[in-house]
């Protein structure tokens, strides 16, 4: 839990992210990103973009956030996008029944109990809570009145109150609705993929654990459209031999223990439904490792049958260990042709495409990654105490808000001028850098370490004569003297 306090402390002190609307009221589930947090968030999105849409040669779109009711009726969200809730009979607090029960078993260290929760329906959850005597954690009252609560934020379009609309609960539906349009206008062929990053909204019953469960968050989603009858002949220029050889920490359906298996083995026994799905998991592993979530802190979990929607042909979550335990950072799903066939039926439009001279309604493989949970996991794991009472965010370069800090040793006009010149040179070369001359040099190092800046460059009087600067490494505190021209290779 040391990590938790270090990370939380830094996050608060440097306003990396913080509760929205703070001067007015405390509303759960809404967070704002401060300038440093936003830079890290953009890095997370850029890393994803480089690996997914750009790395795999897919297309990226931006679709509407407000969806007319009919879209969500077709997708099934109106009827089934619910969470099981119970209300405290005394203080009226709403509790998410599955999470309440999971927490109970987690405290007891009962992995089997936790696994069982995932399979339970509303009534079973309510009666188990009753049977175990679990009470409201606010006032000790009885948790009753179970209901399935729809998580979508409802709104209205225009002045006529009958024109109901909802804020999108996932970015994917926009991609499905637009699929045929993009396919046609871009001359696509199956298999092909479309990605989207953007805000989504879920009216969570009990938002908590900082960014882990919020009501407004960002998803990075990729939908791969395939002809289910066509043989796999490669995708996105990925070397399948490398993918298949990759070993993943994996929890198979019906088990509680993590085993290390190659993607080839997981494909062979059907835990991973097909090669496209395998590529998504491979890329996710690459993404989180690039951002600093190392082996031992993540695992993939094949969902139990009871957890799957009826149309699913396989789901695997990526889970990352944080100070709150394992959290789902990404949901991967073989969605069959459910989405396109539902939208085709509801709209009356033909959403089939021609592939290999026949009409095909594509099947879809989805990788849905939550930006905020990923960012939280990265920061949570990177927070360290350096032993001298300093808090350090040991962020990888791919996540760091700046690659280097530039400091004049003292507040001297000549040093300031030189330092600003170097900062300008770095920024002009697209190296994210910032300048600071406030406080002692030690304090400035500490403040840069705290937000995860990997290198700090100090300009002193000798720099003015010999063109050499001191470069300090965040993780080792080692300092080396280098020529200004050599900065680039050291910090990038």
Binding piece for ligand ATP, criterion CB under 6 A, among 42-50, 57-65, 68-76, 210-218: 210-218
Q: Select from 39, 128, 168, 213 the one that contacts ligand ATP (CB under 6 A).
A: 213
Q: Which two tokens stand for residue 471?
A: 């470069």
- Between CA 466 and CA 481 the distance in angstroms is 11
Of 322-361, which residues contact ligand ATP (CB under 6 A)? Answer: 328-331
Q: Select from 39, 77, 202, 285 the one that contacts ligand ATP (CB under 6 A).
A: 202
Query: Which is nearer to ligand ATP, 284 or 423 (by Cβ)?
Result: 284
Query: Which is nearer to ligand ATP, 183 or 300 (by Cβ)?
Result: 300
- Between CA 416 and CA 428 the distance in angstroms is 18
> Smallest distance, Å, CB 310 to ligand ATP?
16
CB of 339 within 8 A of CB of 221?
A: no
The DSSP bridge partners found for residue 85 are 96, 147
Query: Which is nearer to ligand ATP, 9 or 328 (by Cβ)?
Result: 328
Is 370 among the residues that bind ligand ATP (CB under 6 A)?
yes
Q: Select from 372, 380, 449, 450 the one that contacts ligand ATP (CB under 6 A).
A: 372
> What is the residue whose two structure tokens read 């009356």?
348
Which secondary-structure segment (H or E) carries 461?
helix 461-466
Is 373 among the residues that bind ligand ATP (CB under 6 A)?
yes
Is 219 among the residues that bind ligand ATP (CB under 6 A)?
yes
Q: Which two tokens stand for residue 230?
A: 């066509």
- Between CA 370 and CA 355 the distance in angstroms is 32
> Smallest distance, Å, CB 274 to ligand ATP?
19
**CA atoms in the 13 A half-sphere facing the CB of 33:** 17
Binding piece for ligand ATP, criterion CB under 6 A, among 183-191, 211-219, 409-417, 480-488: 211-219
> Sign of the CA dihedral 292, 296, 297, 299?
positive
Instruction: Spell out the residues 6+ positions from residue 87 whose beta carbon is closer than 8 angstroms to its own.
Output: 93, 94, 95, 143, 144, 145
> Smallest distance, Å, CB 308 to ligand ATP?
11
Query: Which is nearer to ligand ATP, 160 or 310 (by Cβ)?
Result: 310
Nearest position to ligand ATP, beta carbon? 370
Query: Which is nearer to ligand ATP, 171 or 458 (by Cβ)?
Result: 171
> Smallest distance, Å, CB 467 to ligand ATP?
48
Binding piece for ligand ATP, criterion CB under 6 A, among 283-291, 343-351, 368-376, 416-424: 368-376
CB of 484 within 8 A of CB of 429?
A: no
Mapping DSSP to helix (H, G, I), strand (E, B) and coil, where does residue 18 land? strand
> Smallest distance, Å, CB 322 to ligand ATP?
12
Mapping DSSP to helix (H, G, I), strand (E, B) and coil, where does residue 177 land? helix
Query: Which is nearer to ligand ATP, 220 or 419 (by Cβ)?
Result: 220
DSSP label at residue 171: S
Q: Which two tokens stand for residue 77?
A: 């969200």
Q: Select from 43, 274, 342, 368 the one that contacts ligand ATP (CB under 6 A).
A: 368
243: left (phi over 0), alpha (psi -120 to 50) or beta: alpha
CA-based radius of gyration for the chain: 25
> Smallest distance, Å, CB 204 to ligand ATP?
5
Q: How many binding residues for ligand ATP (CB under 6 A)?
A: 14
| Binding-site ranges for ligand ATP (CB under 6 A) | 202, 204, 213-214, 217, 219, 328-331, 368, 370, 372-373
């Amino acid at each position: 839990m040391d990590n938790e306090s270090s990370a939380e402390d830094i996050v608060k002190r440097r306003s990396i992210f913080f509760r929205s609307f703070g001067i007015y009221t405390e509303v759960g589930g809404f967070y704002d990103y401060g300038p440093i947090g936003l830079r890290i968030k953009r890095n997370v999105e850029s890393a994803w973009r480089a690996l997914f849409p750009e790395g795999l040669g897919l297309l990226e779109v931006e679709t509407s956030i407000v969806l007319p009711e009919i879209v969500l009726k077709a997708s099934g969200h109106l009827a089934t996008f619910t969470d099981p809730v119970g209300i405290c009979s005394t203080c009226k607090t709403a509790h998410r029944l599955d999470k309440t029960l999971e927490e109970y078993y987690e405290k007891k260290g009962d992995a089997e109990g936790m696994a069982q929760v995932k399979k339970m329906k509303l009534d079973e959850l309510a009666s188990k809570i009753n049977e175990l005597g679990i009470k409201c954690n606010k006032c000790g009252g009885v948790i009753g009145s179970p209901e399935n609560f729809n998580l979508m934020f409802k709104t209205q379009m225009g002045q006529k109150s009958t024109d109901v609309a909802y804020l999108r609960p996932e970015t994917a539906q926009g991609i499905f609705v637009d699929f045929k349009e993009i396919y046609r206008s871009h001359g696509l062929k199956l298999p092909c993929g479309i990605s989207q990053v953007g805000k989504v909204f879920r009216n969570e019953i009990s938002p908590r654990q900082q960014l882990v469960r919020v009501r407004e968050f960002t998803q990075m989603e990729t939908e791969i459209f395939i002809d289910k009858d066509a043989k796999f002949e490669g995708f996105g220029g990925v070397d399948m031999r490398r993918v298949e050889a990759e070993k993943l920490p994996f929890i198979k359906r019906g088990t509680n223990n993590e085993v290390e298996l190659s993607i080839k083995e997981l494909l062979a026994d059907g835990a991973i439904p097909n090669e496209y799905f395998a590529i998504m998991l491979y890329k996710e592993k690459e993404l989180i490792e690039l951002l600093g979530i190392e082996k031992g802190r993540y695992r993939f979990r094949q969902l139990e049958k009871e957890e799957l929607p009826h149309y699913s042909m396989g789901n695997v979550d990526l889970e990352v260990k944080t100070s709150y335990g394992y959290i789902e950072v990404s949901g991967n799903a073989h969605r069959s042709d459910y989405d396109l066939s539902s939208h085709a039926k509801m709209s009356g439009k033909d959403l089939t495409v021609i592939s290999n001279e026949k009409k095909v309604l594509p099947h879809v493989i989805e990788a849905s990654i939550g930006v905020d949970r990923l960012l939280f996991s990265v920061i949570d794991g990177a927070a360290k105490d350096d032993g001298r009472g300093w808090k350090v965010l040991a962020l990888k370069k791919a996540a760091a808000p700046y690659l280097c800090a530039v400091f004049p040793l003292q507040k001297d006009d000549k040093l300031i001028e030189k330092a600003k010149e170097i900062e300008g040179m770095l920024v002009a070369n697209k190296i994210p850098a910032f300048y600071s001359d406030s406080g002692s040099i030690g304090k400035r190092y500490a403040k840069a370490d705290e937000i995860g800046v990997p290198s700090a460059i100090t300009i002193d009087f000798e720099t003015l004569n010999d063109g050499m600067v001191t470069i300090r490494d965040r993780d080792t505190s080692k300092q080396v003297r280098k020529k200004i021209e050599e900065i680039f290779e050291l910090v990038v």
